[in-house]
Structure 1
């Protein structure tokens, strides 16, 4: 079975909820349409969700994130913060976040021991103090937590004896470890929805799940949203090894299809049939939007010669203008007056 680039672009409009008739009722459904919303930049979650909603509204996204908690932010694929539905969150946690949590804790403990003569018992006490503040206050910023817990005002030295030697407050790193372990989570911002200053609140600790089971479910979701895609595409998107990506594809019975230029892609079982092209559609998507970030090989929606103008060397994308599944332009903010331009 062969799937053309034109068919792949049609799938984007329908499955990524960008064509008008495919848009979603709410922010949670918008996230599920693309598996997860990039959330490193707080504004991206709102802009990406609203681009896919029938009735876009900042208030609706805020409700999903902070009131109903139908979306949660996790440090997960590619060590990036994503907003995922509460249904998918346990799988993403087991598939990606757990391994990151182990590395984060190991790295912090090494810095504490080797450079600052602090040990695991000290870290446990610092974590306990931070969590106690949140239990009392309900939610608090990092600065508020530090003010209430003296141990978190401890300064540590990093890279001692080198040109990079510097002194840092330990609070941010302790809170990060608590977050990746699921003990706390990012809550409401301090200020507007575009603010990068946020409050911490109690998290959700998910029940143990086999990594293979979790990775298979994430692969199934990705194939449903981004298929056909190559093994290299999924490896890049997930941040896993190629072996893990292949194992996850095999677990869900992914079927091989031929793509243009002789490449081999994969779809879910029974998903190789042609789809009807949606009505003409246009979209202005923010930087790091999941659609532009969904594949490593982007030639089917963006000519290779234009990629350097929109993507950096790490593969991160700026704002993009879409027409019927192809990128036809980019967006930026003028330095002269701050106005947006395409």
Structure 2
């Protein structure tokens, strides 16, 4: 393989992309991490829409997965080295705390402005003028002060301190989608997008979808262009080569912002199998050195690797997608072999991990490796039932078998 550019555009084929993925995403056993923070920093962001995804994604990448739950909870709720907050595409992610300012400036500010404008428009119009911007500002300040006093609180607890949070207004009055909204539900979401509150410890176990809220730690305000360049630089280091389409999809930015950030970091264009153009960091043009051992992985629904790129043919064959994705494009639990998705997994009636290969081309070696990973996952789950928030055809079928 030609490992250096010789005046022509460097070509990175699908095979090399899979090797890069295995190393950068800490999926091969020889590159697994020791702590939750190491995993998060390696991946830039862990999907947090489904709370269990964070734990399962970390566990799949730890050298010793037995203490995954305690390690993640320590990082999130004691040391606060990880933070769950709104980020790209108006989606909840878990980031290393030091990236909060970068994420907020690069992706949150524009979304936050639209979210607040939408709340004011809907609230004022849906309350016949009874609820005004001035009224909301007063309630908002009171709620944040109460949250500061409590440290962490549910919305229900906050309404005890600030009863006006329970006020209702009509969203979409006279439309087919007309619905009653509470000020609390909309306001907390806006404050989250604005980076002023973050998700705190859940009610119940680590699989719970009911969260407390906490005041966000302070962070500096960064220039937008600077923050976008930094986020793209970090992400290319993990997911390069990536196309403009991948970058636009993952960040949620306009294509002009993507191009400006690519130029700012000095990204290098490379050719891809199929004729596309991808981009890598200037220090990652050369091919990875050394051989990588065969590896298997069981990754959760919405895993950051499975959801890392918009163009997925090089690691997820199109014929497998109907079984592995739901109707909205959310991927379920997947089985990987050698850098490609080859099947899916779920849990049986007793909590045991069950799996199926949809692509058996890896033969007995792949089956043995996947079985070992399934045993590893079953061991640390210890019978805990994890139901993906977005269920897919294969996951549901395996769960009922």
TM-score per shorter chain, which class?
A: over 0.9
Task: Please report the RMSD computed on the Cα atoms of aligned residues, expressed in angstroms.
Answer: 1.6
Answer with 116-125 or 157-166: which moved more.
157-166
Match of 2:62 among 53, 66, 88: 53
Moved over 6 A (4+): 336-339
Q: CA shift at 1:340, angstroms?
A: 4.8
Decide whether the 8 Å contact of 1:333 with 1:341 is kept in 2: yes
Q: Out of 136, 144, 151, which is 1:131 matched to?
A: 144
Q: Of residues 42, 59, 65 in structure 1, which corresponds to 2:76?
A: 65
TM-score, normalising length: structure 1:
0.95
Q: Which residue of 1 aligns with 2:235?
A: 222
1:82 lines up with 2:96 in the alignment: no
Corresponding position: 1:328 with 2:345: no
The answer to whether the 8 Å contact 1:9/1:324 transfers is: yes
Q: What CA deviation, in whole Å up to 9, does each residue of 1:302-339 have, x standing for no partner?
A: 212212221245432111101111111012456x8876
The aligned runs of 1:101-250 (5 Å cut-off) are 101-116=112-127, 117=129, 118-250=131-263
Quote how far apart the aligned CAs of 1:102 are: 0.9
User: CA 1:277–1:297 in 2, change beyond 3 Å: closer, same or farther?
Assistant: farther
Q: Does 1:318 align with 2:318?
A: no
State yes or no: 1:23 paired with 2:32.
yes
Give the CA deviation at 1:167.
2.0
How many pairs align? 341
How far off is 1:166 after superposition?
2.4
User: For 1:140, what is the secondary structure of its paired residue?
Assistant: coil
Paired residue for 1:302?
316
TM-score with structure 2 setting the length:
0.82
Deviates more, 1:308-317 or 1:114-123: 308-317
Choose between structure 1 and 2 for higher RCO, CA contacts under 8 A separated by at least 6 residues: 1
Kindly indicate whether the alpha-carbon contact (under 8 Å) linking 1:130 and 1:175 is maintained by their aligned counterparts in 2: no
Match of 2:299 in 1: 285
Partner SS, residue 106 of structure 2: helix
Deviations 1:171-227 (A, max 9, x none): 111111222222221110011000011111121232221111101111111110001
- What does the per-residue CA deviation read over 1:24-81, in whole Å, with 9 as the maximum and x for residues that have no partner? 1211111121110000011111111111122221000001111101111121111110
Q: CA separation in 2, counterparts of 1:324 and 1:91?
A: 33
Deviations 1:233-269 (A, max 9, x none): 1111111111111111111000011111111111100
Query: Which whole-Å deviations, capped at 9, do the CAs of 1:69-97 have from their partners, x for residues lacking one?
Result: 11111211111101110122211110001
Q: Distance in 2 between matches of 1:263 and 1:164?
A: 41
**Alpha-carbon distance between aligned partners in 1 of 2:329 and 2:252, rounded to the nearest angstrom:** 12
**Would the alpha carbon gap of residues 277 and 232 (structure 1) be closer, same or farther in structure 2, given more than 3 Å must change?**
farther
State the distance in 2 between where 1:203 and 1:270 align. Answer: 34
Distance 1:69 1:55 in 2: 22
Following the alignment from structure 2 to structure 1, what is the Cα–Cα distance between the partners of residues 33 and 347? 28
In structure 1, the partner of 2:102 is 91
**Based on CA coordinates, which of the two structures has the bigger radius of gyration?**
2
* Mean Cα deviation higher: 249-258 or 135-144: 135-144
Please give the secondary structure, in 2, of the residue aligned with 1:31: helix
Is the 8 Å Cα contact of residues 286 and 319 (structure 1) preserved in structure 2?
yes
SS in 2 for 1:164: coil
Q: Matches of 2:195 and 2:242 in 1, distance apart?
A: 31
Q: Decide whether the 8 Å contact of 2:84 with 2:94 is kept in 1.
A: yes
